[in-house]
Amino acid sequence: MIKSPWLPQPTLAALWCVWIALAIAIVWLANATALDLALADQQFDFTQHSFTQKHVFFYETVMHVYAKQLFTVIWLALLLLAWLPERLLGHRLSTATRYKLRWIVLLALLNAIVVSCLKHQMPHACPWDIVRYGGSAPWVPTFTSHPALEAGHCFPAGHTTSGVWLSALGLLWLPQAPRKALLVTIAGLAVGFALGWAQQIRGAHFLSHTLTSLWLMCGWLLMVFTFSKSRIE
């Protein structure tokens, strides 16, 4: 078994720089602009005092319930492929592929656990829970200092984690085909963003909540690239 880096060191360094720059951009967007509120305002009907898309079948059932169930089934299938004894798989998967699948399912689980823990600690409420949109919770910009508040159970965006882990599938094409890996990773991030956007339309999240969840997933991937080794048979 030959071990080699996932990515060339210059590429890895550049990705870390981009990741840090994205963190700065997300903080700036949340604290220095009114984009979070502006996007939520677009979805809220101030005449009816409600998020009119909150219970629309496509957003509430298809994008929220069915999508989560679908991606959970996919995750479970990959989990079985990664850890089932080789004799049951008929040696159809290489050791290198199974190694990558294990990283993929572990990253998905790690991201979901971390986001869930943060949601139960952070004070930021969902749009439909804040005073501006008929709720009772105060509005707190995402990354600013604030008085002691009860947990808002909304930051970072939890539903985004149901699909954003698909970005880790890019590992299957590394280090042999980095361009394909990048495209797969971007596609996975797009799926996560789409799930988060659907929740924003319903009034369940602000944009900064969704972007933070995507940013965290990118961080886990970079840690794998940096502190583990790829395997080529």
The whole-number average pLDDT for the span 159-182 is 95
Q: What integer pLDDT is reported at residue 17 of this predicted model?
A: 97
165 — pLDDT class (breaks 50, 70, 90): very high
Work out the pLDDT band at 1, boundaries 50, 70, 90: very low
Contacts (Cβ under 8 Å, ≥6 apart) of 151: 119, 120, 121, 122, 123
Of 6-20, 64-78, 132-146, give the lowest mean pLDDT range.
132-146
- Residue 12: the pLDDT is 92
Least confident span in 102-111, 116-125, 152-161, 223-232: 223-232
**What pLDDT, on the 0 to 100 scale, is given for residue 87?**
67
Distances (CA, A) of 144 to 28, 166, 196: 11, 31, 22
The answer to whether residue 164 scores a pLDDT higher than 60 is yes
Per-residue pLDDT band at 130 (split at 50, 70, 90): very high
In this structure, what DSSP letter does residue 66 have? I
Average pLDDT value for residue range 148-156 = 73
| pLDDT value of residue 233 | 47
For residue 3, the model assigns a pLDDT of 47
Would you call 32 exposed, middle or buried from its count of C-beta atoms within 10 A (0-12, 13-18, 19+)?
exposed
Distance CA 171, CA 162 (A): 18
Q: Using one digit for the tens of pLDDT, what is the confidence trace for 190-213? A: 999 999 999 999 999 999 999 999
Rounded to an integer, the average pLDDT of 148-167 is: 85
- Are 122 and 128 contacting, i.e. CB atoms less than 8 angstroms apart? no
**Rounded Cα gap, residues 233 and 231, in angstroms:** 7
Q: Which residue has the higher pLDDT, 133 or 5?
A: 133
Tens of pLDDT, residue by residue over 26-57, are 999 999 999 999 999 999 999 999 999 999 99
Question: 10 Å Cβ neighbour count for 20?
Answer: 11
Query: What is the residue whose two structure tokens read 């980095």?
Result: 178
pLDDT digits (tens, 9 = 90+) for 71-116: 999 999 999 999 887 766 656 788 889 999 999 999 999 999 999 9
Percent of the chain whose predicted confidence (pLDDT) is above 70: 91
Q: What percent of the chain has pLDDT over 90?
A: 73
pLDDT in tens, 9-27: 899 999 999 999 999 999 9
